[in-house]
Amino acid sequence: MAGWSRAHQHDVSGSVLAVGWLRAIHLLARPVLGVPPDVLTGCGLLSAVAAVWLASLGGAALWPALAAIVATGVFDGLDGAVALRTGRARPLGAVLDAASDRLTELCFVAVLLVLGAPAGWCAAMAVLLLLHEYVRARAQAAGMPGAGAITVAERPTRLVVTAVAVTGAAVVPAGTPWTGWAWGTTCAVLGTGLSVIGLAHLGVGVARAFGRYGKRR
């Protein structure tokens, strides 16, 4: 996830999974270094929109929907990797990337909606994930160094929750075991819960960061 990985590359240095993801993305970027980063960003957004449409079809179309979700994550990583490796990183590109990230995440929520999640849970999840990113962006604009905190509700988690919902719906169409809920519902509840925890974690991280920042000043 370009916007996420590029913004937090120093913060994830201790995470084997995150570091492994970044290395894989940079390897995949080699064949597409000639493609403009903004084109890759656009491809990621189109993949997310395609995932919503395919998920709404249900049945065998759920597998292409899953592929589209994975492609969204790959494209999201490639645009940042290409921009950095070719020296084409620019402020406008970062803005476009951030806007694309938010739109693709709303597409992820829409996938859960078409998989049976109640609109209320989807709205709650959407508000929380947007608030999560808004709080971080405002804190960084106010001078906070770093990400504040890497929470359980970061962009990779949102993609994984959506992928689980699509995979579950494809493999066990009757719903999640024991609950009988639609996979969209289960994952929307899970995503909302993680978003609450993540927002609280981020709030604490922002407060601590500004405490340290204020002392240094």
For residue 39, how many other CB atoms are within 10 A of its CB? 14
* Cβ 117 vs Cβ 185: under 8 Å: yes
pLDDT class for 215, splitting at 50, 70, 90?
Answer: low
- How many whole angstroms separate alpha carbon 130 and alpha carbon 169? 26
Alpha-carbon distance values, 15 to 21, 120, 198 (Å): 10, 34, 17
With CA atoms as reference, report the closest residue to 115 among 41, 169, 54, 70.
169
Angle, to 10 degrees, between the axis of helix 91-114 and the axis of helix 119-141? 160
Residue 9 has pLDDT above 70, yes or no: no
With CA atoms as reference, report the closest residue to 44 among 106, 110, 115, 97.
97
Q: How would DSSP label each residue in 170-182? A: HH-TT-STTT---
Backbone angles phi, psi at 94, to 5 degrees: -65, -40
pLDDT in tens, 69-110: 999 999 988 888 888 888 877 888 888 899 999 999 999 999
Residue 1 has pLDDT above 90, yes or no: no
Q: pTM value?
A: 0.88
SS3 146: coil
Q: Which of 1-5, 35-39, 151-155 has the lowest mean pLDDT?
A: 1-5
- How many whole angstroms separate alpha carbon 199 and alpha carbon 152? 9
pLDDT in tens, 102-155: 999 999 999 999 999 999 999 999 999 999 999 999 999 999 988 888 899 998
Which H or E element spans position 209? helix 183-216
